Amino acid sequence: MEKHFREMIEQVNMLAVFKARRVVQRVLPRTLLARYERLCADLGADVYVKHENHLPTNSFKVRGAVNFMAHVTPEVERSGIVVATRGNHGMAVAWAAREKGIFCNVVVPEGNDPEINAEIASYGAQLIIKGADFYEAQDYCEELAENAGYYYLRQGNDPHLITGTAVMGLEIFEELPEVDTILMPIGGGTGCAALATVIRGINPRVELIGVQAHNVPSFYESWKRKEKVTVPSAYTVADGLAARSVFEVPFLLLKDVVSDVVLLTEEELLDGVRLALRYTHNLAEVAGAAALAAAYKIRDRLAGKKVVVVMTGGNMTYERLEKILAGQAAA
């Protein structure tokens, strides 16, 4: 393990999570942990939904962004920051930067969802469209950081992002200390790694099940091979699960804590959005509903257990929702 990542992992611990709670809960509300009777009856389990889609920017990622902004140096406050994104990460950082009064550049690739772009700009960030894909947008962030002096906030590996997100796990255990199983989607791995940190610190007997797209099983393949790998580029309707590789620090935090990984087909992912509307009357983006879709898929093994599924986000365009509800593939 590189010394750099080892030092980062040492900063992700329960003391840091408790400190992050004081920061996060001053700015963000506790999210609802809701039990839905029909969902419990149909799954044969005591199922609770953690509604991270109710947070500002409609995503769990704002927790980590708020915690990060609380720890920036005076130099970063003066120079500003830059991030690359296709959606939720950029919105979260833009929102948190505005709350802190820090100048924020958000780089999105060409062809990015115009509604997402408009939302990012509405939070006061400078929106920059650059690069044919997300990886080229990241490269441009590197250039801006080097040439203009901005701090480049990379997704995934920053300890403050992880410990801020882990406050979600504290809320789950405070409200449902007897939880048996938690299901959480895995894209780059930050959210699931945050939960793994809390589970390891409070009750290692809790089963943590990750959820990924069958088309892009980056963490699953890494977990099986016991080393971080990059999978081939492939399309998935779940934008938040499209990462070809998991981040280094989340992988190292997750690899010995995750009990299993459920892989969902494209149709199963789309059905998750329908399940969210049917049972919870909540709008969830495709990745945001993935844990619910996974719970439905493995309901036999969840029978009789106390289960938490994390609804990670709710950013969905009207056009995509219309297609999903009509039973069409949502491009």
Residue 327 has pLDDT above 90, yes or no: no
Residue 330 has pLDDT above 80, yes or no: no
Domain boundary among 96, 122, 152: 152
Domain that holds residue 292: 3-59+159-325
Model confidence pTM above 0.85: yes
The total number of structural domains that make up the chain: 2
Domain boundary among 134, 152, 170: 152
Determine how many CB atoms are found less than 10 A away from the CB of residue 62.
27
**pLDDT tens track for 45-73:** 999 999 999 999 999 999 999 999 999 99
Same domain (yes/no): 93, 139: yes
Same domain (yes/no): 206, 253: yes
Residue 287 has pLDDT above 80, yes or no: yes
In a domain, 88, yes or no: yes
Same domain (yes/no): 133, 36: no
Q: Which two tokens stand for residue 6?
A: 């080892």
Q: Which two tokens stand for residue 188?
A: 């780059």
Domain boundary among 152, 184, 211: 152
Residue 18 has pLDDT above 60, yes or no: yes
Instruction: Please list, residue by residue across 246-270, b when 16 or more beta carbons sit within 10 angstroms of its beta carbon and e when fewer do.
Output: bbbbbbbbbbebbebbbbbebebbb
In this prediction, residue 110 has a pLDDT band, given cuts at 50, 70 and 90, of very high
Residue 44 Ramachandran class (φ > 0 left, ψ -120 to 50 alpha, else beta): left
Same domain (yes/no): 136, 24: no
Distance, CA of 219 to CA of 185 (rounded, Å): 11
In a domain, 195, yes or no: yes
Same domain (yes/no): 55, 67: no
Same domain (yes/no): 311, 249: yes
Determine how many CB atoms are found less than 10 A away from the CB of residue 51.
20
Residue 135 has pLDDT above 90, yes or no: no
Same domain (yes/no): 109, 122: yes
Distance, CA of 44 to CA of 300 (rounded, Å): 8
In this prediction, residue 107 has a pLDDT band, given cuts at 50, 70 and 90, of very high
Q: What is the CATH number of the domain that holds 276?
A: 3.40.50.1100
DSSP 8-state code for residue 51 = E
Helix (H) or strand (E) holding 83: strand 81-84
Same domain (yes/no): 301, 230: yes
3-state secondary structure of 210: strand
In a domain, 47, yes or no: yes
| Type of residue numbered 132 | A
Residue 213 has pLDDT above 60, yes or no: yes
Residue 113 has pLDDT above 60, yes or no: yes
Residue 31 has pLDDT above 90, yes or no: yes
In a domain, 330, yes or no: no
Same domain (yes/no): 200, 237: yes
In a domain, 249, yes or no: yes
**CB-based contacts of 70: which residues, under 8 Å, 6+ apart?**
23, 100, 160
